[in-house]
Structure 1
Amino acid sequence: MHPRLRPLFALLLCAACLLLPAVAAAKQTFVMVHGATAGGWEWKRTGQFLVDAGHTVYRPTLTGLGEREHLNSTEIDLETHINDVVNLILFEDLHDVVLTGHSYGGMVITGVMDRIPERLRHVVFLDAAVPGDGQSIWDLFEGGGQDPERFKDGFMQVPWVKPGDKPPYSVKHSVKCFSQPVRYRNPAALALPVSYVAFVPADQSVEERARKDRSWQNAKARGWTIRTFPGGHVAQQEDPRGVAALIAELAGEPLAAEAQPAG
């Protein structure tokens, strides 16, 4: 190297050393909580887009569901599932977590927010239940469990799963998860930055959804960020990359256009 270039090289090297930690710090840790009867498998493709963009993703399966179906029991309740996620975050020693919850998962992440707000940096409710303190999901939706064919023997049944179906598939879900109220009163939890995303199908107007959706109304009353995404209730399976991009954007780290899932 020419002697005159050495100071310039040293300056560039110093700048790179200063910039690299900032780049690394921009990558996020996501914990993605699935909805009723499902499992972590339901978020595999969405999570993979985030992983391919350099983020860390955890997709816990709640006790008794998904690949943990062998643990299913009528004694499983909402607190069991809150403990699943709290313990994952604590035992993996995660900090600055971007926590997401889909559908029933909104009940779970509400409880997680109340328990360990100091471990969270942003929370995203994805077409999810947004309960108040002391509410169950049945309280939020003004009743539930009225259909004797769907709610029986202590479980919410899933009639679309047939004998001999190959995994992954939905499984029956303990009704105690739907009747147990959640705690949401920790001042630190109430102060967390939160986003609510409504998955709005093509045959429904945004205005109609906003008028009828109690979770949307609760989120708006709390001053949360409100976003919409085109698609049905399982939009993460219809457009996994689009949902991943929105989650990353809400977390403050836009998904690179070239990010693609591995296989």
Structure 2
Amino acid sequence: MKAQASTYVLVHGGNMSTETWNKLAKSNIHTPDGKMGGRIWDPIIPFLQTYNNQVFAPTLKDEHQSNLTEHIEEISTIITGNHLENVVLVGHSYGGMVITGVATMMPDKISSLVYVDAALPDPGQSLFDLIALGGRDPLSFAGLEPAPPYVEKLEFNPQVLNGLPKIYILCTESEFVTVTHVAREKIASHPKEWTYLELPTSHVPMASMPEQISQLILENTANR
């Protein structure tokens, strides 16, 4: 029997500079604005597209000219505008805030959620709140500013996500380990709701371990 194809919508975190990406990926990419946006997913898209899987990897609006609510609306519009069903939502870093918001708005469209070393909010928390909970000053991370998306608190009903398969992939060598430690504690308190996985790599496994992160996503989400 032929396996049914899956649809993946990939949501990036803070808009990484090409300079940072090139150091991580040992590449020499140049873009018009010097930012990567959704291009951070480029190394894993070919892997995810196997078995005729459909993949969307948009670039979110500039964080200085939009907020978390608008980013959630952007991803929601991609899903509704393309009449997507059974979507695997994948969020990296700040993208965890976005996919949580999207899933609570349209849980019937989502087949599973994948958090890649990502923010895992409770209702009423912002990205900056999560960093502070981990014992770090958000401004201590190079390049991280109090832009609107990062300080906006996400209000949602967590019960809407009950029963929805959720996967967390923690990068053990991440510079955001204090933040992901908070996520790990939340997951440990509700182990039956989660598939918890680890990769021995930095915060951006799409650059350092593209094949391995792709395999983890495919193995845990395909044809749910």
Q: Scaled by the length of structure 1, what TM-score is found?
A: 0.68
Is contact 1:210–1:217 with CA below 8 Å preserved after alignment? no
Q: Which residue of 151, 157, 181 corresponds with 1:179?
A: 151
Q: Which residue of 200, 219, 239 corresponds with 2:187?
A: 219
Q: Secondary structure at the match of 2:198?
A: strand
- Provide the aligned length of Structure 1 versus Structure 2: 197
Residues 231/53 of structure 1: CA separation in 2 closer, same or farther (3 Å cut): farther
CA distance in 2 between partners of 1:133 and 1:211 (Å): 16
The residue that corresponds to 1:228 in the other structure is: 198
The residue that corresponds to 1:256 in the other structure is: none
Is contact 2:123–2:158 with CA below 8 Å preserved after alignment? no
1:132 to 2:100 alignment: no
Cα drift, residue 187 of structure 1 = 2.7
Q: Secondary structure at the match of 1:80?
A: helix
Deviation above 6 Å: which 4+ runs of structure 1?
none
CA distance in 1 between partners of 2:210 and 2:113 (Å): 19
CA distance in 2 between partners of 1:219 and 1:251 (Å): 18
1:55 to 2:49 alignment: no
Q: How does 1:7-18 map to 2 (within 5 A)?
A: none
Identity of aligned residues (%): 29
Over the aligned positions, Cα root-mean-square deviation in angstroms equals: 2.6
Larger radius of gyration: 1
Q: How does 1:17-56 map to 2 (within 5 A)?
A: 19=1, 23-25=2-4, 27-38=5-16, 39-56=37-54
For structure 2, the 5+ residue unaligned runs are: 17-36
For structure 1, the 5+ residue unaligned runs are: 1-18, 65-71, 157-173, 254-263
Residues 212/231 of structure 1: CA separation in 2 closer, same or farther (3 Å cut): closer
CA distance in 1 between partners of 2:156 and 2:187 (Å): 13
Q: Scaled by the length of structure 2, what TM-score is found?
A: 0.79
CA distance in 2 between partners of 1:252 and 1:149 (Å): 36
1:245 to 2:223 alignment: no
Residues 214/43 of structure 1: CA separation in 2 closer, same or farther (3 Å cut): same
Is contact 1:33–1:40 with CA below 8 Å preserved after alignment? yes
